[in-house]
Structure 1
Amino acid sequence: MAHAFRVFFLFAAVDAIIAVGLWLPKLLDIATGDVAGVPLAVWHRDELLFGMMPAVLAGFVLTALPRWTRRPPVTPTTLMALAVLWVAGRVAHALPGESLHAQAWAPGVAAVFVMTLALVTARQVLASRAWRESKIVLLLAGFAVAAGFASLHPGGATKETAMRLGLASVLGLVVVLGGRIAPALTAAWLKARGESPPDPRRRWIETTAALAVAAALCAWVIAPKAGVTAVASACAFIVQTERLARWQGWRVSDSASILALHAAYGWIPVGFALHAAAIVWPSFVSEAAAVHAWALGAIGLMSIAVMASMIRRHSHTPFVFSALTSASLFCAAIAVPARTVAEVASNGRTFWLLLSATSWIAAFLLFLLAFRDPLLRRATWREV
C-alpha cells in the first residue's frame, strides 16, 4: 500500500501554492481582493490553516503511526475516505458563498477531517499503549475543536478566537514533533560524520519549555492583548531559545535540510518575542508580525523540511544532497522575514509582500519538482 504522505503531501504543496498565489493579482493591482465572495485576507488565512495544514499533518501522522505504535498502517479505504473528505473541504471553500452560512461549510468539513484523523491516531495509540503519542491526539483534537467553532460561528470575535486556537494547536504540534525530529536528525548526521552528538535532553528544560509554551499559547488564545500574555510570551521566548540552543544546530550547517529544521523551530521563540513586543509597543510591532512568523516560519518552513525528511527516509536517502530541495528550503526561508518585515516597514510594504509571496510559491513548486517521483509513485522510487 502507498504511504499516506504520497497523497497528502502532494495535496498540501498544491494547496499552499494556490492559497498564496491568489495574492499576486491583488498585489499587482490586476484583480480585486475577493475569493468566492470572501475577502482575500480571510480566505487565504482559512485555506492555509484548514486546508494545507491538515494535509501536512495527515501525511506525516498516518505515515509515522506504524513506527510509533508498531501496528499496521491505515487501510486503503480509510486513506481514500480521508482524501475525499479533504478534497470536499477545499471544494466547499472555493464555491461562491457570501453568506455566513455558506462560509461555515469549509471549516466544518475541516473539523470532521481533523477529528477523524485524531480518532484514527487515538485508536492506534490506545491499542499499542504508546502513551507518549497521546499529546499528538490531544493537539489534533484541539485543532478539530477550533475548526468546529469556526464553522459554528463564522463571523465575529468567536471565529477569531477559534482561529487563534487552531493556530495554537498546530504550533503545539510543531513544538512536539519538531522537538523530536530536529535533535534526532542532528544526532544522526553528526554520528554519520564521526562526531559526538549533543545531549539536549534535560528533563527540567523540556518540562519548563512545554509548560511555558502551553501557558503562552493559552494566554494568547484567551486574551491576546493582555499584559499577562506579554509576560507569558517573553518567558516562552527565553525557554524555547534555550531549548533550541541545546540542539546545536550550527553544527549541521553543511546539511540544508537539517539546518532548515532548526531555522524553522527558531521562528517559534521569535514569534513569542514579536508578540510580547506587539503588546508593549503596538505602534511599532503588530500582532500580525508574530502570527506570520509562526505561520510562515515555524509552520511553513517546518512543513517543507519535515515533508522532505520523511520522503527521504522512506526512499532510504536521508542525507543525500539535492539542489532542488536546498533551493526550496532557501526560498521558504526568504519568505518568512520578508513577510515579517512587511508588517513593520513604514515604506515598501508591497515589495516585501511580493517577495514573500513569490518566494513561498517558488519554495513549494521546487518541492514538488524535487519529489515528483515519490509523490507521483514512479517506478524509480520503490515501495517501503
Structure 2
Amino acid sequence: MRDSRFPSRPEALAQLPALLAAAPHRLLFLAGALAVLTSMTWWTLQLASLRYGWAHWPQPPVPPGWGHALLTVYGMLPLFMFGFLLTVFPRWLDRPALPRRRYVPVASAVFGGYLLAHAGLLGSLALLRAGVLLIGAGYAMALVTLAQVLHASTARQQHAWSCLAGVAVGGAGLAAGLAALFGAPPAAMTLALRLGVFGFLLPVYFSVCHRMIPFFSGNAIAGYRPWRPRWSLPLAWALLTAHVALELAGADAWRWLADAPLALLFGAHALAWQPWRARRPGLLLALHLAFAWLPLAFALYAWQSAWLLASGRMVLGLAPLHVLTIGYFGSMLVAMVTRVTQGHSGRALQMGTLPWVCFALLQGVVVLRVRAELGPDGYRWLVLAAAGWLIAFAPWVLRSAWIYLTPRVDGKPG
C-alpha cells in the first residue's frame, strides 16, 4: 500500500508549489543549494578559461573577481541566511510564524536576481545590473519584514538586533556594489565587498553561532553550562568596524590592532564552548569544528598585518580571507543548514554520511585555496579549489534538494 505521506507523482507535482512555500527555509534553502553549484560552476569555468586560454568562453562585463565576490557574498550565502532568519526570528521573539506572502517574494527576488545576474556574467552588463537590482529589492523586503517582527515583539533580543543590523549593513553594501556597476569609482566595489564580508556575513554568522552553539551543546551534553556573554557581540561589532575602517584607509599595516583582538575574542568563544565535550552527536561536533576556522582566520589576518608593519611586505595574499569564507562560512553552512534541515523535516538530528563527506572534502578545498596563494601557478590551484568545491557540495545539494521537495517524514506541516 502506498504511504499516504508521499503522494503519487502527478499529485506531488501539483502540490509542489504549496510544499515549497510551506516554510521559509524550504524555499530559500533550496534556492541556496542550487546557488552553491551555480556560483562555483561559473567560477570554475571562468578560472579555467583564464588558466588554459579558452578563447571562446564569454567574459564578464566587469572584472571576474568582482562578479565572483559580489554574487557569492550578496547572492549565494544570503539565500541560506534569509531562510534561517525568516524562520527563527518569530521564534526568537515570541511572534507567530510569518505568512507566505512575506517570504515567498523575498526568495523570488533574491534567487531570481541571482540567476539573472549570473546570466549577465556571460557578457551582458545590462542583465548583471538588472539582476543585482532585483536582489536589492529582495533585501529591502527581508529587512522590512525582520524589522517589523522585531518591532512587534516585547522581547528586545540581542541576537535579533545584531542580525537585523547585519542585514541593514548588507543592504548598504549591496547598494555600493550596484553603484560600481553603474559607473561609480572602483572604490565603491571595494566598500561593497568589505561591508559584505565584515559588516554583513560575519556579524550575522557570529550572532547565530553565539546563540545556537551553546544552545545545541546544552541540549546534547549532560552538565553543560552555556557561555553566551552579552558583551561579546558589541565588542565583535566594534572590532569588525575597526577592521573595515583600517582597510578602507589603506592602513593594512595597522589592521592587527583590530585583528589580533578579534582572534582572541573568537578563540575565547571556541574554547569556552568546550568542543572536546561535543564529540556526539556528529551535528554538534561539526558546528564546533566549523567555528574553529574563525579564530584561525583572524590570527592569519593579524600575522599578515604585523608582518607588513615589520617588513613592508604583504604575505599570505588572500589566504586569510578564504580561510574565513571557505573554512568558516562554508563549513558552518554545511553544519548549520544540515542541522536545520534534519530537524525541520522530521528526521533524526544526525549528520549522516553525505553531509560528513561534504564537510570533510570542504576542509581540503580550504587547503587547495590557500596553496593557490603561496606557490607558483596559482591559477591552476584556483581551478582545482573551485572544482573541489563542486565535488564536495554536489551530493549534499542533491540530498538536501530531495528533502526540500518532499513532505516531512513525520507527517507534520512545514
State whether TM-score is above 0.5. yes
Once the two structures are superposed, the pairs formed by residues 86-165 of structure 1 within 5 Å of their partners are: 86-96=110-120, 103-132=128-157, 133-154=160-181, 155-165=185-195
Unaligned residue ranges in structure 2 (runs of 5+):
1-20
* Other-structure match for 1:375: 404
Once the two structures are superposed, the pairs formed by residues 63-102 of structure 1 within 5 Å of their partners are: 63-96=87-120
Unaligned residue ranges in structure 1 (runs of 5+):
none
Find the aligned partners of 1:144 and 1:83 in 2 and give their Cα distance: 16
Find the aligned partners of 2:324 and 2:131 in 1 and give their Cα distance: 23
Find the aligned partners of 1:110 and 1:92 in 2 and give their Cα distance: 9
> Equivalent of 1:323, from 337, 353, 368?
353
Q: Report whether the alignment pairs 1:29 with 2:60.
A: no
Contact 2:93 2:149 (8 Å CA) reproduced: yes
- CA gap of 1:325–1:95, structure 2 versus 1, over 3 A, is closer
* Other-structure match for 1:11: 31
Contact 1:149 1:162 (8 Å CA) reproduced: yes
Partner amino acid, structure 1, of 2:161 = S
Contact 2:73 2:197 (8 Å CA) reproduced: yes
Contact 2:66 2:189 (8 Å CA) reproduced: no
Give the deviation of 1:100 after TM superposition: 6.5
Contact 1:233 1:275 (8 Å CA) reproduced: yes
Give the deviation of 1:143 after TM superposition: 0.4
> Equivalent of 1:49, from 34, 54, 73?
73
Q: Report whether the alignment pairs 1:187 with 2:187.
A: no
Identity %: 23
1:193-213 per-position Cα deviation (integer Å, ceiling 9, x unaligned): xx3214423456x36753564
Task: Give the number of the structure whose alpha-carbon radius of gyration is greater.
Answer: 2
Find the aligned partners of 1:138 and 1:254 in 2 and give their Cα distance: 34
Contact 1:226 1:279 (8 Å CA) reproduced: yes
Q: Report whether the alignment pairs 1:304 with 2:330.
A: no
- CA gap of 1:23–1:210, structure 2 versus 1, over 3 A, is closer
Find the aligned partners of 1:266 and 1:116 in 2 and give their Cα distance: 33
Contact 1:257 1:309 (8 Å CA) reproduced: yes
* Other-structure match for 1:340: 370
Q: What is the SS of the residue equivalent to 1:131?
A: coil
Aligned residues: 378
1:168-223 per-position Cα deviation (integer Å, ceiling 9, x unaligned): 11111111111222222122221xxxx3214423456x367535643444435533
* Other-structure match for 1:241: 267
Find the aligned partners of 1:141 and 1:160 in 2 and give their Cα distance: 18
Let me know the Cα RMSD of the aligned residues.
2.7
1:8-60 per-position Cα deviation (integer Å, ceiling 9, x unaligned): 11111111112112233333727367544344332222221121122111111
- CA gap of 1:64–1:247, structure 2 versus 1, over 3 A, is same
- CA gap of 1:216–1:84, structure 2 versus 1, over 3 A, is same
Q: TM-score, normalised by structure 1?
A: 0.88
Give the deviation of 1:158 after TM superposition: 1.8
Find the aligned partners of 2:130 and 2:317 in 1 and give their Cα distance: 28
- CA gap of 1:41–1:202, structure 2 versus 1, over 3 A, is closer
* Other-structure match for 1:175: 206
Find the aligned partners of 1:362 and 1:74 in 2 and give their Cα distance: 35
Find the aligned partners of 1:306 and 1:116 in 2 and give their Cα distance: 24
Q: Report whether the alignment pairs 1:356 with 2:385.
A: yes
> Equivalent of 1:268, from 294, 297, 304?
294
1:311-363 per-position Cα deviation (integer Å, ceiling 9, x unaligned): 112134453351112112212222223212321x2246355434422332133
